[in-house]
Structure 1
Amino acid sequence: MAWRKPSRMRGKHFLSCKDSAECSIIRIKTTMKDKLTTFSQQLRKNMTKEEKHLWYDFLKQLPITVNRQKVIGNYIVDFYIDSVKVIIELDGSQHYTKEGETKDIVRDFYFKRIGVKVLRYTNRQINENFNEVCTDILAQLENRQHK
């Protein structure tokens, strides 16, 4: 048995069985990155109401590249601006459970360690104080550009 990467399926890991008629190519490994990428694509197609509002009414208009549902390490972030190393997270109710808060602390520590700033806004802030959120994001981006 030999490893091989068929050109029509780049990036995937396969096992080729040379001597068996029943086994031509079997997918044997899906990496964590593959799973996260697939899930992030689904999240982009199914954004929350607040994510859509922030994206279509503000972030998409910025003169810098903003990625939606970006995989960074073992995490998927809501929005990522690579040019200034900023993540924008919109927190729904799941972030206010004990488990959610603990996960956020671990995530934020990881991002801080790799030099990425995390901006967190609640769904309520998006719904009730949208202009203030946008103003804060602009100020944070400006601050990061001058560092």
Structure 2
Amino acid sequence: MKKTTVVKNFRMLDTARRLRRDMTPQERKLWYEYLRTYPVKFYKQRIIESFIVDFYCAQARLVVEIDGSQHYTEQGQCYDEERSQILRAYGLKVLRFSNHDVDRNLEGVCTQIDLEVNARL
């Protein structure tokens, strides 16, 4: 797979900073209970092109998204697929989990993330 340099839209910096401060409860849970101290560096609310992804691991070229209910509408699913195609064009893998997954099965979510990171290093 071709690795492409990730482009960043700096005009979105204020929005990304706000989203870092105002994480959803599920994003906060995953960050503080797992990703913040993960041995491979993850970034929260990272700008990639004109998107802000929930979590990004540059070393593993991995994006982790935590999806709320808006992602399960027809419009939300179309947008997410278009967005994922653009991210894949950069050589990134996108892992998606629902809020419910994080609330009810954090251990399983963390295991999947760990397996994917290790497979991509």
Pairwise CA distance, 1:35: 3.4
What is the match of residue 128 of structure 1?
104
Pairwise CA distance, 1:98: 1.1
Q: 2:55·2:63 contact (CA, 8 Å) conserved in 1?
A: yes
Question: What TM-score results when the alignment is normalised by the length of structure 1?
Answer: 0.75
Task: Return the letter of the residue paired with 2:112.
Answer: D
2: distance between equivalents of 1:43 and 1:68? Answer: 9
Pairwise CA distance, 1:63: 1.3
Unaligned runs of 5+ in 2: 1-7
Q: 2:9·2:48 contact (CA, 8 Å) conserved in 1?
A: no
RCO higher in 1 or 2 (8 Å CA, sep ≥ 6)? 2
Please identify which structure carries the higher strand content.
1
SS at match of 2:59: helix
Aligned length: 114
1: distance between equivalents of 2:81 and 2:10? Answer: 25
Q: Is residue 2:50 matched to residue 1:71?
A: no
1: distance between equivalents of 2:62 and 2:44? Answer: 12
How do residues 1-147 of structure 1 correspond to structure 2 at under 5 angstroms? Answer: 33-145=9-121
Report the CA distance shift for 1:34/1:113 in structure 2 as closer, same or farther (over 3 A): closer
What is the match of residue 5 of structure 2?
none
- Which is higher, the Rg of structure 1 or of structure 2? 1
User: Taking every aligned residue pair, what percent have the same amino acid on both sides?
Assistant: 35
SS at match of 1:84: coil
2: distance between equivalents of 1:85 and 1:34? Answer: 20
Report the CA distance shift for 1:33/1:113 in structure 2 as closer, same or farther (over 3 A): closer
1: distance between equivalents of 2:89 and 2:11? Answer: 24
2: distance between equivalents of 1:83 and 1:34? Answer: 21
SS at match of 2:44: strand
1: distance between equivalents of 2:42 and 2:91? Answer: 17
Question: What TM-score results when the alignment is normalised by the length of structure 2?
Answer: 0.91
Q: 2:44·2:56 contact (CA, 8 Å) conserved in 1?
A: yes
